[in-house]
Structure 1
Amino acid sequence: MIAYVTVGADDIAAAKRFYCAFLPALGYGLKEGPEGLSFALPVASGAVPVCADFYVKPPFDGRRASVGNGTMVAFEAEGQAQVRALHAAALAAGGSDEGAPGFRADYGPRFYVGYLRDPQGNKVALFSSNPDEPGRDG
Structure 2
Amino acid sequence: MFDHIGLRVHDLEAGARFYTAALAPLGCVPGSRGADYAGFGPPDAPGLWLHAAGVPARTGVHVCFRAASREAVDRFHAAGLAAGGRDNGKPGPRPDYGPTYYAAFVRDPDGNNVEAVCLR
TM-score (norm 1): 0.77
Partner in structure 1 of residue 78 of structure 2: 88
User: Which of the two has greater helix per residue?
Assistant: 2
In 2: Cα distance, 1:86 partner to 1:40 partner: 14
Shift of 1:27: 2.8
Query: Structure 2: which 5+ residue stretches go unaligned?
Result: none
Instruction: Provide closer, same or farther for how the CA distance between residues 23 and 33 of structure 1 changes in structure 2, counting only shifts above 3 A.
Output: same
User: Which of the two has greater strand per residue?
Assistant: 2
Shift of 1:11: 1.1
Q: Deviations over 1:77-112 (max 9, x none)?
A: 111111011110110000000000101231111100
| Identity %, equivalent residues | 37
Q: CA RMSD in A?
A: 1.9
Instruction: Provide closer, same or farther for how the CA distance between residues 18 and 55 of structure 1 changes in structure 2, counting only shifts above 3 A.
Output: same
Shift of 1:24: 3.3
What secondary structure, in the 3-state scheme, does the structure 2 residue paired with 1:64 have? coil
Equivalent pairs, count = 119
TM-score (norm 2): 0.87
- The ranges of structure 1 where at least 4 consecutive aligned residues each deviate by more than 4 angstroms after the TM superposition are none
Q: Deviations over 1:39-68 (max 9, x none)?
A: 13244xxxxx6xx71111113xx5431113
- Note if 1:109 corresponds to 2:109: no
In 1: Cα distance, 2:67 partner to 2:3 partner: 20
> Residue 36 of structure 1 aligns to which amino acid in structure 2?
Y
Query: Structure 1: which 5+ residue stretches go unaligned?
Result: 44-48, 131-138
- Note if 1:35 corresponds to 2:36: yes
In 2: Cα distance, 1:13 partner to 1:107 partner: 34
